Structures are given as C-alpha cells and as structure tokens.
Amino acid sequence: MIKHPQNIRFLKRAIELAKSVKGSTSPNPAVGAVLVKNNHIISEGATQKPGSDHAEVVAIKNAKGQSYGSTLYVTLEPCCTYGRTPPCTNLIIEKGIQQVIIGVLDPNPKVNGRGIEVLINSGIKVEYGFFEDEINTINEDFNKYITKNIPYGIAKYAMTLDGKIATGKGDSKWISSEQSRNIVHHLRNQVDAVLVGVNTVICDNPELNVRLENKHKDPIRVIIDSQGRTPFHSKVFQDKNKTIFVLKKTALNENHRIRFINECQNNGKQIIYDDSDGDKISLKKVFQELVKLDIISVLIEGGGDILSSSLQEHLVDKIICFIAPKIVLGKQGIFPFGGTGYEKIEDAIPVNKLTFKQVENDIMVTGYVNYDLN
C-alpha cells in the first residue's frame, strides 16, 4: 500500500498523463511521470514520440534544476537499457531524486526488475506495485508486443439486436449511434493500424481515419485484398493517408499486378505479399509482417469473414461490440462472425472481463478473448 493518501493523488495524476499520450508513443508504452517536493508537484511529463524523451526525462527537464531531493511518481518502471534513448535510471540517479514510486514493472524482459535494482543499488528508495490493472490496461498492446512480438488485436463491430452487422443487401449505415461512432474515432486515435477486407472498401468506400479535433494521427490502413480488387478511385487509394494492401501474388494475372503496383507507387501506398499456401490470406502472416513495421496494435473493423478469420487465427485479444436497438429481420443479413462455426456450445470461444456501457441508445460491450479455455 502507498503510505500516504496524497501519494495516491500523485500517482493518479501520472496515470492521467499516460492516458493523454496513448496512441502517440508506439512502439513505446504510454507513460506518465510526476515530480513531487514538499508534497507539491514541481513538474510533470509524459512519453514523447519514438526516439524522443521518455516521461521521466520530460519531468526532470521540466523541473529546471529542482529535482534534487524530490520523489518521482511514474506509471512504469524506468528503463535501464540503451535503445533509441539512454537509460532513464542514469538521469534519475544523476539528478539526485531520493525516492521513486512505480506503478508496474516493465514487462520488457530486458528491463523487468532491473531498473528497480539499479535505483536501489544507487541508494534510492523504491516502492512499486500500485494500480496495476489500470496501468496494464493502458499498455495492453505494448505488453503483448514486447513479450510475444505480435500486434495486439481489437475486434470492433456494431450489430442490431438480431445480430446483423449489415442487411442482406450489404447496407450498414448507420447501425450504431453518432456517439458510438465517436468512440470508434477515439479507438482509432489510440491504435497503430485499422484493418478491413476489400469488400468493406468496395461497399462503403470508407476513409478509416480519425475525425477528432485533437487527434494524435490517422492509423495506417491495412486492406486485405488477395486479388487486388480495390477500386483505384476509392478513398483509400486517392488520399494521402498511409495504406498497406495485402495481396496474393499468385492470385493476380501479370497485367493487373503490374497496374496495381504502379497505382500504389503513384499514390504512395505499400504492398505486402502473402506467400502462404492456398488462396486465402493468412492474417497471422500479415500480423507478423506488421510488427516488423513497428505496428503493435490493430483495430480489426472488417466484415464477417475478416472478423471470424482473425478470431480463428487467435489474433483477437479484445472485442468491442456496439449493440443497437434495431431489428433487421430476414435470413440474408450479414453476421459479425462467419465461418462454419462450432457444433457444440462447450467448444465456443469464451470472452471474459466483460464491461457494459450505455452510449445513447446503444450498449457498448467490451471483453477479452480467452483462447486457453476453448
């Protein structure tokens, strides 16, 4: 337990700072730091863009020479290794900070506990292990990436009360409320990439961007398009936002492949080829390629085929579902998850840690997929 109530306030403030930069620090974690002296905050800091200062460094610089004898509150264990930047532990020691209160240990195997050890060996008092669930939720994408070297997958969809994400004619605008759609823009603002199938592009011609006043960035768009069917006049081709097309080289005839490559080059788009066996693109292979590009979080917004494939390939970690009070009727509507499905309920994939939130007239359901129980 943190010994004094005011310490809770200082660490809570560090958590707020970490949340404020979520989506702008990848592939680094979002971290907040607060420097305190005589029970007063003297400076604050949050992780900057990759290659720039970590939260602790920002806070120390903002202290302008007042850090000697202070206490540092930081959401994540300070790093003790050289990466894009020098170790934060070195600067903490150098600037005479006398105590460090840490939310959680860094899951990075190169750091995990070693940063604390360096500080203690230098005579600095250290306490850690506070608000762990809240802080780990902020960096759940980083935690998976740094331990398993694969992006964190979030499946997002909106459906009617009778379980349809679109009518039999493919119409899906708008199932969810305006406020629910605004939440989706906040989700996009916090992830590195948004992934859809080519049918979504053909039917909806979406921009897949962030429409917020104070956004961090637009996510990279990943279009699963085995045969290169994306229309060249579509928004994902014509605008300037980063877009990756995933193709099957064997599925394209030579003339179309050359034209598709030229269109991508002319419009600044990137191509990833999937060389796995069969006609279907392996989403797992796609995720393995995305992590090489420092993409550590993917919002999966595709239709039923993409959603079910990503779930079957164990790529979905979190599900966010908006349930709208509407009923489509009929047998021809599109369901969020396709495929052949399981024959027995006992084989169904469990979803844990459910939370529910009313958004206008919609219900937002959030849960975590637990493949281990399947």
- Cite the active site residues: 56
Question: What is the rounded (10 degree) CA torsion for 3, 5, 6, 7?
Answer: 40
Provide the 3-class DSSP secondary structure of residue 181. Answer: helix
Residue 13 and residue 41 in contact, taking contact as beta carbons nearer than 8 Å: yes
The neighbouring-strand residues paired with 272 are 246
Write phi, then psi, for 42 (nearest 5 degrees). -100, -20
Residue/partner pairs of 158-161 with CB below 8 Å, 24 or more apart = 158/321, 158/322, 158/323, 158/324, 158/362, 159/321, 159/322, 159/323, 159/324, 159/335, 159/336, 160/323, 160/324, 160/326, 160/327, 160/328, 160/333, 161/323, 161/324, 161/325, 161/326, 161/327
At position 123, the amino acid (one-letter code) is G
Residue 78 and residue 100 in contact, taking contact as beta carbons nearer than 8 Å: yes
| Residue 240 DSSP one-character state | S
Q: For residue 293, give Cα distances in angstroms to 152, 201, 289.
A: 14, 23, 7
